Amino acid sequence: MKAAPAPPAPPAAKPRKKAKNVAHVWVVAAEIVVTPKVASIADFRESFKTEADQRVDALDVYCRGCRRPYDEVKSDPCAAKIDNTHLIGGDQTTRAKRKAPVPPPSARIVPGGTINRQGLDAYVSGVSRPKS
């Protein structure tokens, strides 16, 4: 006697896509009073350590991604995680082009020379050479 063939297995379930995290990442622009020594360290390293239990005055609270204030967008999803069109200032096809500044009437425009930014001449003149 032959055994009956097994029924075909049901198709595997499609894996669910992870929901995109569109939450804001809140940051605080702060003002901290420091000593002259800490100020010089902060200027050099662009960071510093604070004292424990130091009170910090918050100047502004905003989202790191979309750069919008907390009170304006606290209940909305982060626009930067959806797309960054909010940063480019509207529809680029209809936006007016920037106008070149008009020189004062008594100004005289003097054409300058060209700067060679490639090759040995650029290196010798210091254009492409690292500061030493």
Per-residue pLDDT band at 60 (split at 50, 70, 90): very high
Judge whether 82 lies within some domain: yes
Judge whether 88 lies within some domain: yes
Judge whether 103 lies within some domain: no
Judge whether 16 lies within some domain: no
Enclosing domain of residue 61:
21-92
Number of folded domains in the chain?
1
Q: What count of other Cβ atoms lies within 10 Å of the Cβ of residue 33?
A: 10
Q: Nearest 5°: phi and psi at 24?
A: -75, 155
Q: Which residue has the higher pLDDT, 95 or 24?
A: 24
Q: What is the pTM of this model?
A: 0.47
